[in-house]
Structure 1
Amino acid sequence: MPLRPVLHLVARPQRTDPVPAPGLHPNPSIESNALLRGTREVLIRHGGETYRLRHTRNDKLILTK
């Protein structure tokens, strides 16, 4: 009697979190140059506090209080 291959099916877990449609992002996005407007630094006021957003020489963004 010849051996027959056995196929094992494994159920993939169902996603319960909503998946955004392709091309849509769950959070709005803004380009850093729109905030900095040609400068290396901008002050941001939030909740009565002032924060400083800096664009470094290494092309990084640093937000400090």
Structure 2
Amino acid sequence: MIPRQTFEQSSAAETPVYDAQALTAGGHLALIRLGDQIYTLRITRAGKLILTK
């Protein structure tokens, strides 16, 4: 479950925005579940995002 403060939305018709730093709890890795699959979200040293299965 995503903590409330990591979610921003200006209207119901817009796409939600999540803060990557909050998703990783200030670290560099987060696990994201989609159905029965687990994905890894990684923030690189260069500040880029990598999502892998």
Specify if TM > 0.5. yes
Residue 62 (1) aligns with residue 53 (2): no
- Higher helix content, 1 or 2: 2
Runs of 4+ in 1 over 3 A off after TM superposition: none
Q: Deviations over 1:5-60 (max 9, x none)?
A: xxxxxxxxxxxxxxxxxx65710111111101111111111110010000001110
- Higher strand content, 1 or 2: 2
Determine the C-alpha separation between the residues in 1 that align with 2:15 and 2:30.
22
Q: State the number of aligned residues.
A: 43
Q: Equivalent residue for 2:22? A: 34
The root-mean-square deviation of aligned C-alpha atoms, in Å, is 1.6
% identical equivalent positions: 44
Unpaired stretches in structure 2, ≥5 consecutive residues: 1-9
| Amino acid aligned to 1:60 | K
